[in-house]
A = this chain, B = another copy of it.
């Protein structure tokens, strides 16, 4: 899984704290998370392309969530950035070697591949169960109050 997944989920969780009509410039998102702006930009565009973020153009431009945070799951962010492919790489080695069969015999997915597909589904189901709203509310509980106030001030000064 790429670094971008961690960044993307953090970005969305931060944007959940923005007022409805505001946006945060990409440079501010990079500054807040201490990550290279050029590399983060790529992931922000992927998130916008997948309908997780909305791009706001113009002088007041930047990014905001495209939907209410309760309607965005962690899986949405993961799939926007890393795609929907399973981590398991099946190269169909069953078709190689001295006992390989003619291609027409392989009508069914290999049992090994099916096992990894079930595991991948369990992984995705779990990530689909947590929303950006859950993570934002968790943050409000976990982070010390003085730090939340500092964060709120930063957001207010940085938002457009």
Number of copies of this chain that the complex holds? 2
- Closest CB-CB distance, A125 to chain B, in whole Å? 7
A127 within 8 A of B: yes
Residue in B32, B101, B123, B142 whose CB lies within 8 Å of A123: B123
Query: Which of A42-50, A61-69, A86-94 lines the interface with chain B?
Result: A86-94
Known pairs A5-B88, A6-B91, A13-B112; A118 contacts B126 (CB<8 A) = yes
A119 within 8 A of B: yes
Q: How far is the CA of A142 from the CA of B138 in the complex (A)?
A: 47
Known pairs A93-B34, A97-B32; A111 contacts B88 (CB<8 A) = no
Q: How far is the CA of A154 from the CA of B99 in the complex (A)?
A: 8
Q: Give the total of A residues in contact with B, Cβ under 8 Å.
A: 56
A1 within 8 A of B: yes
Q: Which residues of B lie under 8 Å from residue A118 when comparing CB positions? A: 126, 130
Q: How far is the CA of A74 from the CA of B103 in the complex (A)?
A: 26
Inter-chain contact B115/A74, CB cutoff 8 Å: yes
Q: Which residues of B lie under 8 Å from residue A91 when comparing CB positions? A: 3, 6
Interface-central residue, A93, A127, A139, by most chain B CB under 10 Å: A93
What are 13 A-B pairs with beta-carbon distances under 8 A? A1-B87, A2-B89, A6-B88, A6-B89, A6-B93, A6-B112, A13-B112, A32-B98, A32-B99, A33-B93, A99-B151, A105-B144, A121-B126
